[in-house]
Amino acid sequence: MDLGLKGKVAVITGGSDGIGRATAEVLAREGAKVVICARGQEKLDQTAAHIRKNGGEVTAVKADVTSDADVNRLFDETVKKYGGVDLLLNNAGLSQRGKFLEIDDKMWQIDIDIKVYGAIRCLRRAIPEMRKRGGGRIVNITISSAKQPGAGSMPTSLSRAAGLVITKALSKEYAPENILVNTVCIGKIKSGQHDRRMVNNSISPEKYYNDNSKDIPMARFGEAEEAANAIVFFMSSMGSYVTGSSLNLDGGTSGVL
């Protein structure tokens, strides 16, 4: 099936690992020109090499979304090489949770700067480029618990709730210009963050996933490729009449639609 992605230019933040990498791989297979960014050069290069080995077109740019200069350089390089931007995945982030009175200003600032301001910086650069091309697709990664936060869920639930607001507001503002904005609300998806926790706590993958899947109705973590498929739907021709929508990709964990 032709998804209408051939020749499209996609920018993916947090593109060297997990959901970002999986999405880059799917888009590249569909013929998109993919630009991935992350803070670590080594993983970026590994991901880019893997995509090229499989016939995809990709450019890796080391960039930190908390830096306005880095974000500007990311988009400047993208436009210079490919002529514009059609697709944006705001995926950069980390999961930080704790008891409210134990969260200091530094943790709040880091979380909000990456997930909220990082997305804003990218949107400010991507939207004008999409306007020039007569439209575009934006997908913001959030979490299903942003809709139904529990105890000890901040600062992540708060910053991701901001992502829901950004998605809905921009979808209404830019729908007349054919710029569609949606969000995938993820739950527990296999990623480098979970790998690092296993190492830090000396836990085997089997035990880690079993112990942390007990509250998931489907009784398993999601695969990064499953998240990528949902993201690519929103970016593809199949999602041409969908904007301002959210999709819970959490194995049934969320209690709200």
- The more confidently predicted of residues 204 and 55 is 55
Outline where the chain has alpha helix (H). 18-29, 41-53, 68-82, 105-112, 118-132, 156-174, 192-200, 205-211, 224-235
Give residue-wise pLDDT tens across range 188-229: 998 877 777 787 778 888 889 888 999 999 999 999 999 999
Give residue-wise pLDDT tens across range 155-170: 999 999 999 999 999 9
pLDDT surpassing 90 at residue 174: yes
Q: Which of these, 100, 113, 256, 112, lies nearest to 185 by C-alpha position?
A: 256
pLDDT for 193 equals 75
- What domains are defined for the chain? 9-187+223-249 (3.40.50.720), 190-221 (no CATH)
